C-alpha cells in the first residue's frame, strides 16, 4: 500500500516496491532517462532520492536537466598509489 502511494506521488514515472526480506523500498524508472535503481529505508527517503535522480537526469527523457558525465570534474587520485 505504501509503495503504491509512493508511485502515485512520483507521478507514475517509477515502479516502486517494498522488499519484505530486505525491509527496504526499491524503485526503477519507467522511462529511458536513467538506467539505475534506487534503494531506501523508508518512503520519504525514496521520494527524496527519486527527486534527486529526476533533477539530474530529467523525468521527460529530454536533454533539459540532464547532466553529462563529460561535464563532471576530473578526480585527482589520493593516497600512496597516486602520482608522486
Q: Render pLDDT for 5-57 as a digit per residue (tens, 0 to 9).
A: 899 998 889 999 999 999 999 999 998 878 899 999 999 999 999 999 999 98
**pLDDT exceeds cutoff 90 at 74:** no
Q: Is residue 75 part of a domain?
A: no
Q: Structurally, how many domains does the chain consist of?
A: 1
CA gap 3, 46 in Å, rounded: 10
Q: Is residue 61 part of a domain?
A: no
Q: Is residue 18 part of a domain?
A: yes
- Supply the range of the domain harboring residue 22: 1-26
46 φ, ψ (degrees, to nearest 5)? -65, -45
CB 27 within 8 A of CB 6: yes
Q: pLDDT value at position 83?
A: 54
CA gap 13, 73 in Å, rounded: 30
Q: Find the mean pLDDT for residues 66-81.
A: 48
Q: Is residue 22 part of a domain?
A: yes
CA dihedral 36, 32, 75, 26 (to 10 degrees): -20
Amino acid at each position: 500500500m505504501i509503495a503504491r502511494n509512493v508511485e502515485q506521488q512520483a507521478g507514475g514515472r517509477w515502479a516502486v516496491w517494498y522488499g519484505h526480506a530486505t525491509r527496504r523500498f526499491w524503485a526503477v524508472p519507467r522511462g529511458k532517462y536513467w538506467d539505475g535503481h534506487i534503494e531506501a529505508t523508508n518512503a520519504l527517503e525514496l521520494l527524496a532520492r527519486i527527486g534527486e535522480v529526476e533533477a539530474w537526469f530529467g523525468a521527460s527523457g529530454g536533454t533539459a536537466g540532464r547532466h553529462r558525465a563529460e561535464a563532471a570534474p576530473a578526480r585527482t587520485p589520493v593516497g600512496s598509489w597516486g602520482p608522486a
